[in-house]
Each structure stands twice: as structure tokens, then as C-alpha cells.
Chain A
Amino acid sequence: MYLLEFSFSQYVFQCLLHSFIIAFVIEALLKIWREERPLLRLRFRLLVILIPVLSFPLYQLVYPQRGGFGFRKDIAIFDINQWLLLRLGDGILVWHAALVLLGVTTAVFLMQEAIPILLAYFHREASKTLYESGTIPKLDMILEELKQKSSFTVPRIFLLTEKEPVIYTNGIRKGSINISLSLIEALNREELEGVFAHEMAHIMRRDNAIGWVLLLFRFIVFYNPVALVEFRRIIHEKEKLCDDIASSLTGKPLAFASSLIKVFRMAEANGVTHTSQHNLGSRILFIVHNLERHSHRVRVENRVIRMVRPKKSHNPPYPHIRLGLTTLSLILLLFFVV
């Protein structure tokens, strides 16, 4: 209970509460405005991660008495401390349940984000070779075509020897594309052109640099379940945005959709594991694994449907004013939520 008096725990719980509120507001406004453009949806969703991290120190700086009892009692619209001190059962407070939630989120973050990202980074960095033109004719033709279609310089290509079908970009100032040989073999020319255009879109948009900044914020709010969900949604919006760029660059959305399905099926075939379900730990892992697979499948389906049956765009006007006014209103509202 006395931990509530420390600024850090106040920061953590306010960050959590503010994320919930922002996520709700953003979701409602995107629905009301029928905003479907991935870039704008992405910008709105970024508010869920950025505002809670920065708002608490900013508010404390502007009005140091904000955390005091007088403010919470007379001025605040909502005081989370009142809820955290509610008794759930024998000696168990809401505060304890909230700690468990934060603990579970931290474990999910470590197991599914932090450790896999670091492992993949070091593992892949070690096993790649620079592609020299003339080695794979199919790849040369695609790169030449993309060079003609866009004014963008084709980045360096690295080949990966791993069995899994992967393609990704890296490099902050000078981007490069990494692709596994298995993927080059599996996709036809049009499909491969689509995935290359998609990766080039990531480089054009400097997604890697932005991604690292975003990841830094994600690491800061590792305990926050709302940030966990929103971070994935932001990644998904980024992918959709690059899908659109790739589709307009190549003019072949169906070939790109086909490549998405192929990559998904290959990944599924490689990743199927028969986990023993005799003990509770294995059962939990099995359920988590299946949930992950299901959510991945839904995300891929969603991207494929967008390519195959593109919706008529609604495009509400003045998106920057919408974003600005929403941000201002949220900053104002959250000042009174402690």
C-alpha cells in the first residue's frame, strides 16, 4: 500500500490508465471518422504509446501539486489509488491483482518480443552474405524493374541461408534487404517483385529508424498490456501501409497477395511443433503458441483481403487537424486523471 506513495508506481499505474483511455478515445474516433488509411491510423495509434510515457513527467513539471491529496480529492476526475486500494478478498487488494497483470505482461514482453528480437538480430547478422548481381537472374530482373518503376536507389541485398522463408530490412541510415534463398526459390517473379517492393517501401519510409525509436518506447512501457496490443497494431498498420506502396509500385496486388499466402503457408509448415501437453506449463505454452498462430493468421488474412478486395477509400479531410485536436484534447483530459 505504501508503495503507492512512490512516484515510480504512480507513474506506472497512471501510464497504464492513460493508455487505456487513449486507446478507447482513438478507437472510437477512428470508427466515427471511418478512417481507413494505414498511415493516419498508425499516427493516431502512436499516441497510445507516446503520450503516457511523456505526460506524467510533463504534468508534474507544470503542476507539481498534481499528485497531492488535495488535487486527487477536489480537482481530479478520476483517482486510480481509490481503485487500487479496494479489497478483493482476504488481504488481497486490486493493487495485488494489478501487479500480477503487469507481471504477466512483462513475461509476455520478454518471451515474445525482447528475447526473440535480440536472438533474431544476432543470429541473422551472423549468417548473411552480400548478394552480387549476376548470381540469380530472377533477382536481377526484378531489381532492374523496380529501379525503373521508382526513383529510389535499389539497396544492398543480403542472402540468408536459413530454411525459413524470411525477408526483412535493416540499417538505420543506409537500408538493406535481407532475404532467404528458400523464399527466392518459392516465389515466382511477380510475387518476388511484390515482396521486394514492400521491403523497399520500408526503406523509403525509414521504418527501421522509426522502428528502433518505437522499440525504445516499447521497452520503456514493457509492463503495459495496452502498449503490448497497440505496438502490434502499429506494426500491422506499418505493414499495410507498405503493402499499399508495393501494390501501387508494381501494379500487381494479386501477385503480392499470393506471395503473402505462400510465405504464411511455408512459415506454418516450418513452425508446426507437436508440444507435449502432459503438464500445465506445456499446456499454457501450447495455448499461447496457438493464440499467436491464430492472430498471425488473422493479420495475414486481413492484408490479403485488402489486396484482393480493396475498399473504396473514404478519406476524411483535414487529417492533421484531427490528429492535432485529438492530441490536445487528450493532453488536457489526462491532466485530470491521476
Chain B
Amino acid sequence: MTRKAAHFLREMWKIILSITLVMCTIVISLYLLKKVPSYIQETEEKFYSTVEESEYALGLRIFLPSYFPEYLIWPPSEIKVVRKPYLTISLVFLSRSHSSPSLVIHQIISDNKNKEVDLDFMEPKRPFQRTQVLVGGAKGTLIVGVGEDGKRWAQLSWRTVDRKIFVIANCSVEDLLKIARSIH
């Protein structure tokens, strides 16, 4: 090997090493920075643009209805996650005819069956019917009433192994039951 070639190789080695060092520093810093937001937002409420994104951020599967009436718009217009007091995922679906919320699905993650989740803001303000129904083998509570907007709203809530689900809609009770029973 000539002296010139040896010098070239030595310089190339220095160049590659310095670029690699700087790039590695950047890659490690960026990787760590990517992890920060999920730690910061542990107790905050956060909005996601897709169901997949929220599943990825939370590390759990979000239940979705397989029966979805044509008068509702897919995908959800809002996907909100609140960490405290309970980890709650809320999906809001708009009506195709008047573009206002017509179906809301809340999933409250809690496997403690004895600790009753009390979120009374979800109930219709003036309930006039309260009955027990079966949803996939679980006992659910159906409440029909008038909401704050003066419209007829129905709410069905039941518990699964790891979460309590609330389905609130201003559709018919039959449709609400179909939607609720298709959620998995």
C-alpha cells in the first residue's frame, strides 16, 4: 500500500467515525424524545386522529361495533383518551343527516368489579325508562330519557372482563341493542 493510499484510508476512517458518532447521538436523542410525550401525558386528556393510533399509544385494543347503521359516519369524528380518574376512551360518531353527535361509546378500563364506576354525566338528564337487558351474556342497564338537547337518548352500559362500556345514542332502542351486542 502506498503512503498516499494509507493516508486516504486513515482520513476516510476518521471521516466515517465522526459522521457515525454525530448521527448516533442524534438517533439516540430522537428515539428518547419519541418516548417522552407518552410519559408526560400520563394524566392528561389526549385526542387521536385514528383508532389505530390510540391503540398504539395505549397499548390495548379498543372495542368497536361490527354492526354500524348507515346513518352514522365512520370513522369516529373524535377519539379522546382521559387517563384519570379512570382510563377512559371515548369515540364520538356523527350522524350523516345533521352532522351532530349521534353515537358515543365510552370504554372505561378497570378490571376491579367491586369498584363501581360512577360517571353520572353520561346518563340522559331526564330518564323515563330503566330496564335490565343481556349483552353478550353480561347484565346491562338500559336507560331511555331526554338529553340536554331535548332529544330522546338511550344509554346501555355493561361490564366486560377488563372494562365498563357505555353506549349512548339518539337512535331507536333496537338499533342501540344491535350496536351494543356487536361490540367486541
Inter-chain contact A25/B22, CB cutoff 8 Å: yes
Closest to A321 in B: B15
Task: Give the residues in chain A near B23, CB-CB below 8 Å.
Answer: 25, 329, 333
A46 at the B interface (CB under 8 A) = no
**Segment of A1-9, A106-114, A205-213, A288-296 in the binding face:** A1-9
Give the contact-size bracket for chain B.
Answer: 20 to 34
Give B117-158 interface residues, CB cut-off 8 Å to A: none
Interface of A is mostly: helix
Task: Give the residues in chain B near A33, CB-CB below 8 Å.
Answer: 18
Inter-chain contact A69/B30, CB cutoff 8 Å: no
Closest to B77 in A: A2
Interface of B is mostly: helix
Task: Give the residues in chain B near A76, CB-CB below 8 Å.
Answer: 34
* Count of A-B residue pairs with CB < 8 Å: 72
Given contacts A69-B53, A82-B37, contact A1 B47 (CB under 8 A): yes
How many Å from the CB of B19 to the closest CB on chain A?
Answer: 5
Cα distance, A21 to B44, chains bound together (Å): 29
Q: What is the interface of chain A, defined by CB distance below 8 A to chain B?
A: 1-2, 4-5, 21, 24-25, 28-29, 32-33, 69-70, 73, 76-79, 82-83, 85-87, 317-318, 321-322, 325-326, 329, 333, 337
Q: What is the interface of chain B, defined by CB distance below 8 A to chain A?
A: 8, 11-12, 15-16, 18-19, 21-23, 25-27, 30-31, 33-34, 36-38, 40-41, 44-47, 49-50, 52-53, 56
Known interface pairs A1-B47, A76-B34, A318-B15; 15 further A-B residue pairs with C-beta atoms within 8 A, sorted by A's residue number: A4-B49, A21-B30, A29-B19, A73-B53, A77-B27, A78-B33, A82-B34, A85-B46, A85-B47, A86-B37, A87-B44, A317-B11, A318-B8, A321-B15, A333-B26
How many Å from the CB of A338 to the closest CB on chain B?
Answer: 10
